[in-house]
C-alpha cells in the first residue's frame, strides 16, 4: 500500500481572495504530480475570507468540525500548514494515532512572540512537542520556532516558486511601463507607507509605479494617484502578475517583517531585480548589488536612496543585474522544494 497523506491548511484561495494561499494549492498539486500513484493525498482546506472576530471564530469552528471525521482515518503523514491554531488538530491526531508522523509548516504569523507568553505559551510548547518535523518558510521564522517551541526536527524550506508561471519573457520584447512594482498586502507590515512617503521625495518625482494587491492601506495609495504616476491593480492571476513583472524594472518590497517573501524570487525568475528591506527572509534571497538592492528596514531615506540608485543605473548595469536575478534562487523552485518535502515524508514513514 502507498503512503497516505492528509494536508490541513487555513490558507486556500476563495472567490473573495482568489490568490491567498495559492502557494499551498500549488504545492499540493505538484506533490500529487511528483508522488504519482504511490501516494494518496487528502486535503482539508479553509478558504480565505475577510472576517471579524466573530466571523473568524465561526469559520475556524466549522473547519474543525469538517476535520473531525478525518481524525478517525489512518494516515501515515498529517501535514499542518499554520501552527496556531491548526497544530492543535495535529497534536490530537498524534495522540489518537501515535505511529503517524505530524509535519507542520510555520509561515511566520503563526509564531509571533506574543502568541507564546504565559500559560498559552506553555500550551503551544506542549503541542509543538507532538510535531515530528517542522518546516520554517524562512530563517527568521526558524529562529522564532527555536526560541519558543519544542519541535523534534526543524528545517528551512520555502513554499516554492511556481516556475510554470514565473519565468523570463524570452526573445519577445516587453514594453517597459513601470519603474517599480509592489505586489502583496497593502499593509503597514509590508511598508506601504514607506513607499508612499518615498514617492513624495523630489528624487523620485518621475518614477512610475504599480501596486498589485488589496489591504487596509489602499486609501493611502489612492491619495497619491493622479499626483504621482501610480496605477493600482486588485486581484491578478499569476499569469497577469508575471506580465506586470515583465513590464517593470524593479520589484519593491519594503517589509518591516517578512518571513520569506516568495514574491521576491517570483519577480527574479521573471528577470526583474528587486529592492528589499534588510529582513531575514528577503536577505536569504538577495545579494546586494548583484540581483537586487537592500536597504535598512523602516528607513524612508534608505528606500529613497535605493530607488534613486535603481533609476540612475546605466543600461549595462541594469542588464547585468537583471540577468543575475533571472539565474538566482533556483533552489527555491517549487519542484525542488516539493521533491525535498516528499523525500522527508518517505524518510519519516521509514522510521
Segment 215-244, tens digit of pLDDT: 999 999 999 998 889 999 988 889 999 999
Whole-number percent of the chain with pLDDT over 70: 96
Residues 209 and 154 reside in one and the same domain: no
Q: Which three cell numbers stand for residue 240?
A: 497577469
Residues 198 and 321 reside in one and the same domain: yes
Domain-located, residue 172: no
Residues 54 and 187 reside in one and the same domain: no
261 phi and psi, to 5 degrees? 90, 65
Determine the distance from the C-alpha atom of residue 151 to the mean position of all C-alpha atoms in its chain, rounded to a whole number. Answer: 21
Collect all residues with Cβ–Cβ distance below 8 Å to 100 and sequence separation of at least 6.
74, 75, 76, 77, 78, 93, 94
Measure the CA dihedral 307/230/262/313, to 10°.
-30
What is the C-alpha R_g of the chain? 21
Residues 315 and 342 reside in one and the same domain: no
Specify the pLDDT at position 54.
Answer: 78
pLDDT band at 172 (very low <50, low <70, confident <90, very high): low
pLDDT band at 173 (very low <50, low <70, confident <90, very high): low
pLDDT band at 17 (very low <50, low <70, confident <90, very high): low
Residues 53 and 122 reside in one and the same domain: yes
Domain-located, residue 165: no
Residue 51: is its pLDDT beyond 80? no
Specify the pLDDT at position 175.
Answer: 80
Specify the pLDDT at position 50.
Answer: 65
Residues 136 and 205 reside in one and the same domain: no
Domain-located, residue 60: yes
Domain-located, residue 173: no
Domain-located, residue 49: yes
Whether 121 contacts 145, CB under 8 Å? no
Sign, CA torsion 80/86/87/88: negative
- Report how many domains make up the chain: 2
Specify the pLDDT at position 113.
Answer: 86
Whether 81 contacts 105, CB under 8 Å? yes
Residues 17 and 147 reside in one and the same domain: yes
Residues 7 and 144 reside in one and the same domain: yes
Interval 174-212: pLDDT, tens: 788 999 999 999 999 999 999 999 998 988 989 999 999
Residues 90 and 196 reside in one and the same domain: no
Looking up residue 48, the CATH number of its domain turns out to be 3.40.50.2000
Residues 191 and 304 reside in one and the same domain: yes
Cis before residue 136, ω within 30 degrees of 0?
A: no
Residue 171: is its pLDDT beyond 70? no
In 10 A of CB 216, how many CB atoms?
11
Lowest mean pLDDT among 5-14, 165-174, 238-247, 297-306: 165-174
Residues 8 and 152 reside in one and the same domain: yes
Residues 48 and 23 reside in one and the same domain: yes
Residue 21: is its pLDDT beyond 80? no
Structural domain for 186, as ranges: 178-330
Specify the pLDDT at position 284.
Answer: 95
Amino acid at each position: 500500500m502507498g503512503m497516505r497523506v492528509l494536508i490541513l491548511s487555513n490558507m486556500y484561495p476563495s472567490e473573495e481572495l482568489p490568490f491567498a494561499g495559492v502557494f499551498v494549492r500549488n504545492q499540493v498539486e505538484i506533490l500529487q504530480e511528483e508522488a504519482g500513484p504511490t501516494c494518496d493525498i487528502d486535503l482539508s482546506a479553509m478558504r480565505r475570507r475577510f472576517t471579524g472576530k466573530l466571523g473568524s471564530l465561526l469559520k475556524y469552528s466549522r473547519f474543525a468540525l469538517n476535520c473531525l471525521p478525518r481524525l478517525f482515518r489512518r494516515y501515515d503523514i498529517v501535514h499542518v500548514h499554520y501552527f496556531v491554531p491548526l497544530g492543535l488538530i495535529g497534536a490530537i491526531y498524534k495522540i489518537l494515532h501515535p505511529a503517524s508522523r505530524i509535519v507542520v509548516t510555520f509561515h511566520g504569523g503563526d509564531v509571533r512572540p506574543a502568541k507564546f507568553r504565559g500559560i498559552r505559551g506553555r500550551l503551544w510548547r506542549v503541542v509543538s512537542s507532538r510535531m515530528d518535523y517542522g518546516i520554517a518558510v524562512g530563517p527568521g521564522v526558524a529562529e522564532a520556532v527555536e526560541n519558543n517551541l519544542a519541535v523534534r526536527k526543524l528545517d528551512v524550506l520555502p513554499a516554492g516558486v511556481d516556475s510554470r508561471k514565473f519565468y523570463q519573457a524570452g526573445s519577445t520584447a516587453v514594453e517597459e511601463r513601470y519603474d517599480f512594482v509592489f505586489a502583496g498586502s497593502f499593509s503597514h507590515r509590508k511598508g506601504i507607507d514607506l513607499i508612499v512617503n518615498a514617492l513624495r521625495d523630489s528624487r523620485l518625482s518621475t518614477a512610475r509605479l504599480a501596486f498589485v494587491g488589496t489591504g487596509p492601506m489602499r486609501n493611502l495609495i489612492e491619495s497619491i494617484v493622479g499626483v504621482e504616476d501610480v496605477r493600482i491593480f486588485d486581484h491578478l492571476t499569476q499569469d497577469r502578475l508575471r506580465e506586470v513583472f515583465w513590464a517593470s524594472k524593479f520589484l519593491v518590497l519594503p517589509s518591516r517583517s517578512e518571513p520569506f517573501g516568495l514574491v521576491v524570487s517570483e519577480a527574479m525568475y521573471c528577470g526583474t531585480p528587486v529592492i528589499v528591506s534588510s529582513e531575514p527572509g528577503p536577505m536569504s534571497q538577495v545579494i546586494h548589488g548583484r540581483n537586487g538592492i537592500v536597504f535598512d528596514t523602516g528607513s524612508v531615506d534608505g528606500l529613497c536612496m535605493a530607488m534613486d540608485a535603481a533609476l540612475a543605473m546605466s543600461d549595462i548595469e541594469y542588464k547585468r543585474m537583471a540577468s543575475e536575478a533571472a539565474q538566482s534562487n533556483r533552489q527555491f523552485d517549487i519542484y525542488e522544494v516539493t521533491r525535498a518535502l516528499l523525500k522527508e515524508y518517505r524518510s519519516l514513514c521509514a522510521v
